[in-house]
Chain A
């Protein structure tokens, strides 16, 4: 349906689809390409290109007839026959069906993209012929690929890799969130679609749902606390080191970076050992294990809040170097003239900090704050290492300091509750993406991307 755009008093018509226009300036060769890839090109005497396109469509048709159709059906049914060990008949593996189904869908999408490209190419050739020019030879097309169409050539392999290893897994997980895969229902048993069933389970008050609410709440609290703690500690440290009276600035900066450079899992395991029942801290608290009553169970089963606080502290230890480096970079960008002008105007040092430094730094680091928030929200390692594998009462397969992502891990990897895990992943994604998008779209770096280019 045509859309009318009001331009003041004048109405300018703009078609939603330019298909009508396309038809009106195409000829029979282009329409042939529309029917079957490559035919139009052949009639334009572009032999090699035409044959390539024809082969692509032929291959696609063969694929669909041979297995594609089956896979698509399998996507919907997720398998119908159960393996029967008695009669030794193989059964349908639902997960494989899902995988192959998704794979087929992507193959279809890629084919459609190539198809549209084929038709557009034919139309372009046609338009140039009616302007009096000859259709491109294959050599010229190749030259174009190295010249004008270089992006197509360069991005082909990366896109393919990302498609297979990032996009397909994510799509599959989204789909699994709507099945009942998990627990006892694993291949060779048949998995089935169950719509929003998993989400209902999460949101009901009992069992899984109860855990979800509690963990979600703690997750948000954790993200806020850790982000702000890290941020202000890092900022404070950077400011401290930046003070004029401090010599050996780079030396003081080295130590935090040392802590940051060591792989995280090493230091986290080290902290766990440090705080374990038989570790050094308890050694000192109990005077060399003489007074066993004074042992403090930092990360044990019942130590909900101490575990959480320790998590915050260790996370700060790990993340403050990053924020410190970031703040240092930004502080070095502040124009010194501002401070000189403030001195002349008679502002005291604290006042200068609150009026000049702080607003500038806050403004410059807002985008990273968001990514730090998201990163902390999804910080898997900290509680995995400090308190991995501990299950608390009142929680379904989680401990009281676990984050959503730790819970996800316990569910999926350790206990095969894949579908619920997938549903939770979706929830995490929805939350984090909404927050990111809202802030990112408002940030100047997105809006003004083209002005900096």
Chain B
């Protein structure tokens, strides 16, 4: 009997803790959603966690009141940046990771060590200089400055992709080269199809990054109309809390959806990626 009681206690306790933990994680998100439906903008008018009145107003003003805070423009800016940097980053990253994984060339070890050392510098160091560089090239307030920087610094994070390419057995490439395929043909017909899950992963991560990055855009985008969503939302003051909540919710929903797609894709990618024969 004792044993059974213990077991029941155990299970109940486990579930209690889990529910509590889940609640802790969900709660702030719920609060934000609630806040976005508040009628008034200021946080002081809330009854604790709950708005005093509910309405869709915040969402409406978000898109219509574009004088001070041009939310639709921010969305567009961020989308453009995300799209192009996703495109370029994926190309550069896949190419780099594939080359380093598959080919043995003299500078390979040195390149890998160099990338390792470079990655240890706090990313902040380069920010000031990038600001000066961009000023020199007159790329301040230009979306392409951000796209360029995101794309060109992407290959530094090649390790994940390289780890994936390392799992493709070399004998497949050897068989293809004996079959008569040139390097470019091998890349096109064999590597790319096999790397689909990794390409999706890379594309998704490089697409979502500009939406949440705030450091670089703050530096390089000074004009209010050029803001990205991150910078824009940060510029909202305390009185515009519900607007902030609305804007955040609006942008967070697709990102969360993308993340879940990512995880599911990753999982399926891993199992089918067991390339044995």
Contact = CB atoms under 8 A, between A and B. Distances in A.
A252 B184 CA distance: 46
A246 B15 contact: yes
Contacts, number: 217
Interface in B83-118: 92, 95-96, 98-101, 103, 105, 108, 111, 116-118
B192 to A, nearest CB: 14
Nearest to A174: B125
B46 A283 contact: yes
A166 B241 CA distance: 37
A429 interface: yes
Interface centre among B22, B241, B244 (most CB of A within 10 A): B22
A45 B43 CA distance: 79
A95 interface: yes
A279 B43 contact: yes
Contacts of B130: 165, 169
Which of B117, B118, B125: most chain A Cβ within 10 A?
A: B125
A405 interface: yes
Interface in A257-293: 257-267, 269-271, 273-274, 276, 278-280, 283-284, 288
B125 A262 contact: no
A246 B18 contact: yes
Interface in B1-40: 10-11, 14-15, 17-18, 21-22, 24-26, 28-29, 31-32
A interface, over-half SS: helix
Contacts of B81: none
Counting chain B CB atoms within 10 Å of each CB, the highest count among A99, A237, A262, A269 belongs to A262
Given A237-B21, A283-B48, A433-B117, A162 B230 contact: no
Nearest to B50: A280
Interface string B37-63: 000000110111100000000000000
Nearest to A283: B48
A241 B25 contact: no
A240 interface: yes
B71 interface: no
A279 B245 CA distance: 14
Contacts of B230: 263, 265
A440 B115 CA distance: 14
On chain A, which size bracket covers the interface?
35 or more
B99 A408 contact: no
B76 interface: no
B143 interface: no
Given A150-B99, A267-B28, A161 B118 contact: no
A22 to B, nearest CB: 16
A274 B120 contact: no
A161 B151 contact: yes
Contacts of A62: none
B189 interface: no
A109 to B, nearest CB: 13
Contacts of A168: 129, 133
B255 A263 contact: yes
A33 B133 CA distance: 36
A165 B99 contact: no
B219 A428 contact: no
A328 to B, nearest CB: 11
A115 interface: no
A283 B92 contact: no
Contacts of B219: 413
Given A255-B25, A261-B260, A276-B43, A170 B126 contact: yes
Contacts of A274: 28, 31
Contacts of B103: 150-151
B136 to A, nearest CB: 7
Interface string B151-162: 111011000000
A405 B260 contact: no
Contacts of B11: 245
Contact of B155 (A158, A257, A266): A158
B48 A265 contact: no
A246 B92 contact: no
Contacts of A321: 25
A105 to B, nearest CB: 15
A9 B188 CA distance: 55
A425 B121 contact: yes
Nearest to B209: A263
A268 to B, nearest CB: 10
Interface string A384-410: 000000000000000000000100110
A408 B92 CA distance: 31
Given A165-B149, A237-B21, A259 B29 contact: yes
B49 A280 contact: yes
A421 interface: yes
Given A96-B136, A245-B10, A270-B32, A433 B182 contact: no
Interface in A136-175: 146-147, 150-152, 154-155, 157-158, 161-162, 164-170, 172-174
A173 B14 contact: no
Contacts of A172: 129
Given A270-B28, A280-B46, A162 B155 contact: yes
B207 to A, nearest CB: 13
The 6 closest A-B pairs by CB, nearest first: A161-B152, A263-B212, A169-B126, A169-B129, A261-B259, A433-B120
Given A257-B260, A276-B238, 5 more contacts: A150-B183, A161-B153, A165-B126, A241-B18, A274-B31
6 contacts: A155-B99, A161-B155, A162-B156, A170-B118, A173-B128, A255-B26
Interface of A: 95-96, 99, 146-147, 150-152, 154-155, 157-158, 161-162, 164-170, 172-174, 176, 237, 240-241, 243, 245-246, 252, 255-267, 269-271, 273-274, 276, 278-280, 283-284, 288, 317, 321, 374, 378, 380, 405, 408-409, 412-413, 418, 421-422, 425, 428-429, 432-433, 436, 440, 452-453
